[in-house]
Amino acid sequence: MRADAGAASLDVTPSPSRCTSAPRRRPDRPAGRTSALVEGTGGWTNARPGQVARTQRFWRRQVAKSRKRWWGVTALAVAALVSVGGVVAGASDPERGSGVARTGQGPVRGTVTADHLSFLGIPYAAAPVGELRWRSPQPAAAWSGVRDATRPGSGCAQLAGLPTDRPSVSEDCLYLNVTTPPTRRGGKALPVVVWLHGGHFFLGQGDTWGGRTMAVGGDVVVVTVNYRLGPLGFLTRPDVGGSGNFGLEDQQAALRWVRANIAAFGGDPRNVTLAGQSAGATSVCTHLAAPDSAGLFHRAILQSNSCSTPLRTRREAAAGADALVAAVGCDGDAAGVAACLRGRSAQELVEAAGYPGQSAWEAGPVAGGPMLPVDPAEAVATGRFHRVPILIGVTRDEYRAQVWGMERTGMLCAPGQEMPCALTAEQHREQLGVAFGAQASKVTARYPLASYGTPSEALSAAMTDFQYARPVLETAAQFSRYVPTFMYEFADREAPFFTEAAPVSFPTGAYHTAELSYLFAVDYARPLSAAQQRLSAVLAGYWTTFAHHGDPNRRGLPSWTRFDARSGYVQRLATGQGGVGRTDFAREHQVAFWRSLPS
């Protein structure tokens, strides 16, 4: 049985008010230690050619089954709505009372402020502990009384990472958070934005991302989600069983919870936007291709990742899992590997897994099997994905965050050298040589050191264009053949950096994750300037208008032309006069050059 949450009761306890196509080459692997602290493009997994004929037949069968299941559920849901008098549009607002909303498992009391309500740490599935480790998520138990929802639940087990992340050893972590505006204009149910955090499937938690910015600025309900990470979320072994995509199944359970319960918070379960950044964007790609995700969302936003890098197959993932088994000391266990793994604590498992790139085992989705029968790269390229409007884009200087990670970990330092240690010209040549092999001289000529202030900026420019810009542009082109697609580039090169960051030897620019402090209420970054606050209002306006209508355009915002492969229209998002408008993305990111290189 999956964690399909029970239907929500929509009344609120009254009382006085009180006051979050990538190429197959994997150039980032040699710098694997950087990924421990800076999430990369998500294209770390081994690629494989699509087996088109076989997967086409399998896809048709799975989609037919999924449609049958989905329409059956939809019919029941519609009948339930009719039986209670059209409650989607007429639900009581939590803010009219004491901030209590009634979910299918029981009532929750959140925090009421002058301009929004927040409900933190709501369980959307049972704790995946004991026998539920490495199993599909199960329904959360009901509770009696009013559950406190003023503090976040535990994050899923993980090591220390970026300032955005918190270390955890908890497996009781399947919680979500809901932020709503104080009132609903005209009493209508509001669009819902469900946010999947990044972290390379090793790190992160939902409550980092406060939904106030979009909820208040765009009249939407924002839901942020925890999901299982690392070896507890993405272990594929036949003797362990399950899909191997437990973290993705958690995300599906959260979406089903939204469908069943979000009306109690003023949200419209028929208008859900699934959004994510980096690994979160990879997750969105998988749900666009996953049969059981059909109908759970109606628009999609992908930030700083493409769908073009093929995932590992189940066979590849199972082979890689041998490294984790050995690292945790279960390879020679007489009682069997599966029993040994189940006997290890969450802390032992995440410590054995380490950080991305440190071993042959890697966290992340795998293709194959009923949960994800067709690789998302193949599904998007051939149009066999859930047809919803798409908003997709990158930041101008994505890879500068990875180079900062190199500095932060000390991997660029000579023996005895004090940090921060800047990337040297020799290290720049070494990085390009490992990444591009025989083509490195062409890349060096195209991105000469003399054209940049530092070797770090030169390396970042090449790797941003190679790992992010070209794949995302090509993914947008693939989407645009089938659905309305809008592409952006976040280009504020003065974006606030992490408050806890040590000194950095080069300008961080519009780094990977830079746009997130413009979209969410966060406490890890330096404050936005007045000009950046205005840009934040523009971003939140675009994102939430897209959530309302599947198109980011509305009165008061600069026009944003729909993307197609011929025009290649990309909207620049930056501060200053003319900062928001069209950019020549393909020229700025040397796309023609990258296409000229052999893959």
- Give the residue from 484, 311, 387 showing the smallest Cα distance to 63: 387
Between 10-24, 98-112, 221-235, the lowest mean confidence (pLDDT) is in 10-24
More confident residue, 166 or 479: 479
Instruction: Note the pLDDT of residue 359.
Output: 79
Instruction: Note the pLDDT of residue 164.
Output: 87
Other C-beta atoms within 10 Å of 147: how many? 18
Other C-beta atoms within 10 Å of 358: how many? 15
Q: What is the pTM of this model?
A: 0.86
Instruction: Note the pLDDT of residue 94.
Output: 53
Mean pLDDT (the chain, rounded)? 86
Q: Phi/psi of residue 261, each to 5°?
A: -125, -15
Locate 347 and state its tokens. 């802390």
Locate 27 and state its tokens. 């150039």
Residues 125-144, mean pLDDT to the nearest whole number: 97
Instruction: Note the pLDDT of residue 512.
Output: 97
**Which residues in 406-428 are b (16+ Cβ under 10 Å) and which e?**
bbbbebbeeeeeeebbbbeeebb
Q: With a cut of 80, say whether residue 61 has pLDDT above it.
A: no
Candidate list 362, 398, 489, 515, residue with the active-site label: 398
Between 51-55, 301-305, 360-364, 585-589, the lowest mean confidence (pLDDT) is in 51-55
Other C-beta atoms within 10 Å of 441: how many? 12
**DSSP three-state, residue 108:** strand
Going from the C-alpha of 114 to that of each of 60, 111, 533, 574, the distances in angstroms are 50, 10, 20, 30
Q: With a cut of 70, say whether residue 414 has pLDDT above it.
A: yes
Instruction: Note the pLDDT of residue 52.
Output: 36
Instruction: Note the pLDDT of residue 408.
Output: 86
Verify whether residue 278 is a known catalytic residue: yes
Per-residue pLDDT tens digits for 177-194: 999 998 777 789 999 999
Candidate list 278, 293, 460, 480, residue with the active-site label: 278
Q: With a cut of 70, say whether residue 20 has pLDDT above it.
A: no
**Sheet of strand 390-395, all strands in order from the earlier edge strand to the far edge:** 111-112, 117-123, 175-180, 221-225, 190-196, 267-277, 299-303, 390-395, 485-490, 570-573, 580-583
**DSSP three-state, residue 180:** strand
Between 9-18, 424-433, 487-496, 555-564, the lowest mean confidence (pLDDT) is in 9-18
Q: With a cut of 70, say whether residue 448 has pLDDT above it.
A: yes
- Give the residue from 280, 278, 260, 281 showing the smallest Cα distance to 269: 260
Per-residue pLDDT tens digits for 194-217: 999 999 999 999 999 999 999 999
Q: Return d(Cα 414, Cα 407) in angstroms, integer.
A: 12
- Give the residue from 255, 323, 319 showing the smallest Cα distance to 283: 255
The neighbouring-strand residues paired with 220 are none
| CB contact at 8 A, 200 and 173 | no
Residue ranges of domains in the chain, CATH in brackets: 52-264+305-382 (3.40.50.1820), 389-596 (3.40.50.1820)
Per-residue pLDDT tens digits for 73-104: 333 332 332 222 222 333 455 544 579 999 99
The answer for 573, left when phi > 0, alpha when psi is -120 to 50, beta otherwise, is beta
More confident residue, 573 or 60: 573
Written as one string, the DSSP assignment of 289-347 is: H-GGGTTS-SEEEEES--S-SPPEEHHHHHHHHHHHHHHTT-TT-TT-HHHHHHHS-HH
Candidate list 197, 200, 298, 512, residue with the active-site label: 512
